[in-house]
Amino acid sequence: MKKLILDHSFTPSPLKSINQDLSELTTENDPDESVFLKLVTQRDEFIQNFLENIPEEEKINFVTAELQVNGALVAYAEESFKASLKQLSGLVRGRKAVNKYR
């Protein structure tokens, strides 16, 4: 999968670090879903806290830019889910075939 671009002009430095880790994880062939969940949760907690502490105008700019990034993360998660489901289906079919020929 191509590398996700998670930073925008309003991304604060601490969030850039989390985004870099997430972006690197998404380029792996078989990324660890538990690490993905941990990083996304960490990212969400940071953003929630960040939004509480910035002025309204900055908040609007940040949230507007984050919508696109969030969409990319959701698309990645959905694609990963579909790939996992396909892999699981293949394993189930293989198991049934093995049991059939026993």
Distance, CA of 74 to CA of 72 (rounded, Å): 5
pTM (predicted TM-score):
0.76
pLDDT digits (tens, 9 = 90+) for 36-86: 999 999 999 999 999 999 999 999 999 999 999 999 899 888 888 887 777
Instruction: Identify the sign of the CA torsion 84, 85, 86, 89.
Output: positive
Q: Which amino acid type is present at position 28?
A: E
| Torsion angles phi and psi, residue 66, rounded to 5 | -70, -25
Tell me what pLDDT residue 91 has.
75
54 DSSP assignment? S
pLDDT (tens digit per residue) in 3-12 = 788 999 999 9
- What's the angle, vertex CA 92, arms to CA 89 and CA 95, rounded to 5? 150
Q: What are the boundaries of each domain within the chain? A: 13-100
